[in-house]
Structure 1
């Protein structure tokens, strides 16, 4: 058996230091969320003089956090689902075709990665379609923004899947939809989960699109609820830390559970295709 390569001690030390740099603000936030006001305002890593978990109860009662959670879920879940589904279907179709239409379609979508959202023209379009201020409008915008990256990753991954799998499925009587959902999708598990994580985090944390395109404050997502809360309680940092903890916790849990798939999904297809 081959001996396992030992990690370079210097490399390990550097990685640990980098991890600490990223972890320090998170630890400061977690500790600050249960500190008294005078201690939270110091912005340090000192241990709380007393643990005030009532900070979370006060934030939930006064900060409209549950309403922000509800709105974020109503937007994030369908937008992520549609972006990943449509991106997977388009990426698979493009990668399996060798004609000029597929290549033009691929570059058309990839060009979307370089284009920034034009607020004025998008606002006018949503007004013209009479959907401005609705969840549906914001969901459509997020789907359009996430599609280019999703299609690019699925194209790269599917190019590494042997075409013989498709041929065998067709011989067994699969139609195109059965081929995609029953044969290819299980193979695309890692890249699918990667896109789910990245899209969900991006949509959940987005601030500008809900701010500009959701007409009512009752429809504000969790980042806007945090912004509104900070405006009213800018000096009460224990509450600010508590609301920030509640905001990032769902995505932090999602990342922790599925993070092992990110590297596999991002690097798949990097050699072939």
Structure 2
């Protein structure tokens, strides 16, 4: 018994140490260097700044005519409308696929699994967006984010719908409840745990997305927060103090969101495994 407790304690300690190495040290490294002057920050070490330059954060906001504020606006709009679209479409699709057990839903399930495994093809996607006249538009970028995240979200909703008793829906239909009202007034409120998980995970993923806006939403007027990092790096010189300050400002909102709602994320992820 003592040996088992000791091994469990060692396992917990090693997991904590690994977490510190992977998450805490990089964040501490960025924080310390964001408060240094440019020459000191270029040494890229973990030393404490000789003088704390809090004005670095003010300078980051003021760079290029407050481009960071505009980028925050673009990222917030992209994240908000993408998440709303994902919740509405994924919840309805997950519900239908789970409740129907026919050939069509099985084919759709296979396609969803392919969507999880196959990465998007950039050039054909740009061509399709140009044909639809949505390339370099916020609306087109929202559609891209929804398309990329929807397979995983539908899979989560399917699992959770399986925990809702079918008898509840049958009783509502007997009382004359139509399909739309049945879903939005009875089923959807019961999906709150997994919906919270999907909202948080998608918000973090989309807000932190760098590659897709770079390909599908080019242009300085459309820049998202991740693309502002280019403002402080160049071919011949880089302002690492301002770069790290920018990273801290970009990371902080989603980091706080993740810490606050961490339990809801875990609960929503495992809830669908209670029943088959």
> Using the alignment, how far apart are the partners of 2:137 and 2:123 within structure 1?
17
Partner of 2:49: 48
Q: Among 240, 258, 261, which residue is 2:261 paired with?
A: 258
> Under a length normalisation based on structure 1, what TM-score does the superposition of the two structures give?
0.91
Distance 1:238 1:227, change over 3 A: same
> Using the alignment, how far apart are the partners of 2:54 and 2:212 within structure 1?
33
> Using the alignment, how far apart are the partners of 2:59 and 2:259 within structure 1?
28
Partner of 2:63: 62
Secondary structure of 1:231's aligned partner: coil
Confirm or deny that 1:117 pairs with 2:124: no
> Using the alignment, how far apart are the partners of 1:198 and 1:234 within structure 2?
35
> Using the alignment, how far apart are the partners of 1:234 and 1:267 within structure 2?
47
> Using the alignment, how far apart are the partners of 1:50 and 1:162 within structure 2?
62
Confirm or deny that 1:136 pairs with 2:139: yes
Distance 1:48 1:171, change over 3 A: farther
Which deviates more, 6-15 or 122-131? 6-15
Partner of 2:101: 98
> Using the alignment, how far apart are the partners of 1:106 and 1:204 within structure 2?
27
* 8 Å contact from structure 2 (residues 232, 238) kept in 1: no
Shift of 1:229: 3.2
Secondary structure of 2:17's aligned partner: helix
* 8 Å contact from structure 2 (residues 57, 242) kept in 1: yes
Confirm or deny that 1:207 pairs with 2:185: no
Shift of 1:254: 1.5
Shift of 1:151: 0.4
> Deviations 1:28-51 (Å, cap 9, x if unpaired)?
111221122233233333322222
> Deviations 1:119-164 (Å, cap 9, x if unpaired)?
1111111111122111111111111111100001100111122112
Partner of 1:29: 30
Q: Among 194, 211, 216, which residue is 2:197 paired with?
A: 194
Distance 1:231 1:88, change over 3 A: farther
Shift of 1:106: 2.0
Partner of 2:16: 16
Shift of 1:216: 2.1
Partner of 2:40: 39
> Using the alignment, how far apart are the partners of 2:236 and 2:242 within structure 1?
7
* 8 Å contact from structure 2 (residues 126, 135) kept in 1: yes
Which deviates more, 163-172 or 139-148? 163-172
> Using the alignment, how far apart are the partners of 2:262 and 2:236 within structure 1?
34
Distance 1:172 1:44, change over 3 A: farther
RMSD of aligned residue pairs (Cα, Å): 2.1
> Under a length normalisation based on structure 2, what TM-score does the superposition of the two structures give?
0.90
- Superposed, which structure 2 residues align to 1:224-263 within 5 Å? 224-231=227-234, 234-263=237-266
Q: How many pairs does the alignment contain? A: 269
User: Which blocks of at least 5 consecutive residues in structure 2 are unaligned?
Assistant: none
Distance 1:107 1:174, change over 3 A: same
